[in-house]
Amino acid sequence: MVFVSDKVHLIGIGGVGMSGVARMLLSEGVSVSGSDMNDSPVLDALKQMGADIHIGHDAANIPAGVSLVVISAAVKEENPELSEARRRDIEVIKYARALGLLMASQVGVAVSGTHGKTTTTAMLAWILSQASKDPSFVVGAHVPDLDTSSREGSGGIFVAEACEYDRSFLNLRPRITIITNIEEDHLDYYHDLGEIVSAFKEFVALLPSDGLLLVNAHDRNALAVAGSSPAPVETFGARISADWQAVNLRADWGRYTFDVVNRGSEIISVSLAIPGVHNVLNALAALAVAHTLDVDFRTAAESLASFRGAARRFQVIGEAASVTVIDDYAHHPTEIQVTLKAARDFFRSGRLWVVFQPHQYSRTRFFLKDFARSFSQADRMIVPDIYFVRDSDQERACVNAGDLVRELVGFGYDAEYVPEFSDIVDRVASQVEPGDVVITMGAGNVNEVGYALLERLRTDS
């Protein structure tokens, strides 16, 4: 793997993707420095690898001799380190461009779509690792089975999530692309769904003619995009006509076993350890690409059977006082619906509590009524303040968490607005009963509620 600089500084180095790039650069012998606002175990690990890490942003954090600065999507122009890089005429690139440079010399596999990217990427990286393919990968969450979120491998295959926000996936040049689905999202950047579909068309048009595009046969937008691909197109689906089919689905407490059929020929049976019918499609996509990369079906099926998921994706973080606490990253109405359906199938008794932290004011405003329709499986709901990311002051003035709670109550849900995490922990700890399940849900820091709740329940019991 070849990169363009021997001394690189990363602003926002603690993020999952940025830390993954840093880890790969360090493995290549590149001198890496970086900064983030808060310390974390991720930064500690990078320090152990030799990175020069600073907490807080300051112009003095950029060492002499740096020839390239990489910034996360969250970094604004007024950031003092970015301003210093501009003043010193240091080349500045975004994370997605750095990812594209790392992928360029390998067989790139890009996993794209509105939902399911992280789990599908993690599944594929796990299958390839189990098949001794030694892939490079960047996953958008820690993967317990892999004991990391990223790694530089020697097998010549690079698997990575391809995010559509800011059209960042146009920086990648994969040989194989998966599209899990295409829905409205990131409407703080895109004007509407039509513009999102157009961006995906641009993305698949970058595929080489000898590559592969794999699309979800259930998703009409993904199918519409497929016509722009210069590469061959294959489809995947459950119980419908597709090149790769999951048939004979059987559920055992929300965890599915299914048979894989490829172009009419039954291949193998697959059993998943993680719940949710949506994960059948994720697994089918991962298996199809693994086959394209010369992994035998038995190895792929055995790998999927042992796959335990990714952090913050229906992650059981603990149990105390006979109460189970789960954390999930769902922050879009569709994600919420499939996650809560999986929870209800997996935990058939007890009340289902949901602590949902809306992510972005703009997303909350755009999907206000859709969010309100998404929680039919929940028995009790608590909503803290909206997690602030990227929004303008004008957006923040347009909606608040109380607006969402009013919509939820209007739909008949038992929901309340509790702004502070500490008060949420008090409220839930005093009212949960043995057998209840509590899910913290959202892309912000709402997982802190789950860990604090477990500590409280253990202390009180």
Active site residues: 117-118, 161
Each as own residue / partner, the long-range contacts of residues 446-449 (CB below 8 Å, 24 or more positions apart, any chain) are 446/327, 446/355, 446/356, 446/357, 446/384, 446/387, 446/421, 447/312, 447/317, 447/327, 448/421, 449/355, 449/384, 449/421, 449/424, 449/425
Of 9, 15, 88, 92, the closest CA to residue 51 belongs to 9
Tell me the two tokens of residue 334: 């569709």
Tell me the two tokens of residue 236: 């995947």
Report how far residue 55's alpha carbon sits from residue 36's, in angstroms, rounded to the nearest whole number.
5
> How many residues are recorded in the chain?
461
Of 396, 412, 413, 325, the closest CA to residue 358 belongs to 396
Q: Which helix (H) or strand (E) holds 115?
A: none
Sign of the C-alpha dihedral computed for residues 380, 342, 333 and 20 taken in this order: positive
Contact 333, 370 (CB under 8 A): yes
Report how far residue 137's alpha carbon sits from residue 126's, in angstroms, rounded to the nearest whole number.
10
CB-based contacts of 224: which residues, under 8 Å, 6+ apart?
Answer: 197
Report how far residue 62's alpha carbon sits from residue 6's, in angstroms, rounded to the nearest whole number.
14
SS3 420: coil
Report how far residue 2's alpha carbon sits from residue 101's, in angstroms, rounded to the nearest whole number.
8
Report how far residue 168's alpha carbon sits from residue 94's, in angstroms, rounded to the nearest whole number.
9
